[in-house]
Copies of this chain bind each other. A is one copy, B any other.
Amino acid sequence: MPIEMPEHDSRFERGSRALAEIDGEAGERVVSALADIAPDFARYLVEFPFGDIYSRPGLDLRAREIATIAALTAMGNATPQLKVHIEGGLNVGLSRDEIVEIMMQMAVYAGFPAALNGLFAAKEVFDRRRV
């Protein structure tokens, strides 16, 4: 991973650990894909969302993934990131059924198409992970 990593950068180290715990290989693939187009953005992605936000103690990772899956399903314009976080949700302890419940609920707030597209994204991830 050819990202410049400043020495003693606790935000980057903390973020790398959080990213690995939540998104696993999928997170690593995103960071790698940025390497030749915007390596600084790969660093920011590790530092701010994961080093600053997901590492805060006030909300556990399970609750954080519920929030992210709900938001990305409702927004409906970020399918690749939604799939990464469906995997993330499974990684931090959400069940397949709980993820389905979140998406069904989004029909209320963002309409049936948003919920349907979320469910079909989930189906793809569940099939690949065989959960």
Q: Which residues of A contact B (CB under 8 A)?
A: 30, 33-34, 36-38, 40-41, 44-45, 48-49, 52-54, 56, 58-59, 63-64, 66-78, 80-81, 97-98, 100-117, 119-120, 122-123, 126
Contacts and interface: CB of A to CB of B under 8 A. Distances in A.
A2 to B, nearest CB: 15
A64 B105 contact: yes
A73 B72 CA distance: 11
Contacts of A80: 113, 116-117
A36 to B, nearest CB: 8
Contacts of A58: 97-98, 100-101
A109 to B, nearest CB: 5
Contact of A63 (B41, B54, B75, B98): B98
* Most interface-central of A71, A116, A117 (chain B CB within 10 A): A71
Given A66-B66, A74-B71, A112-B49, A104 B37 contact: no
Contact of A114 (B66, B78, B117): B78
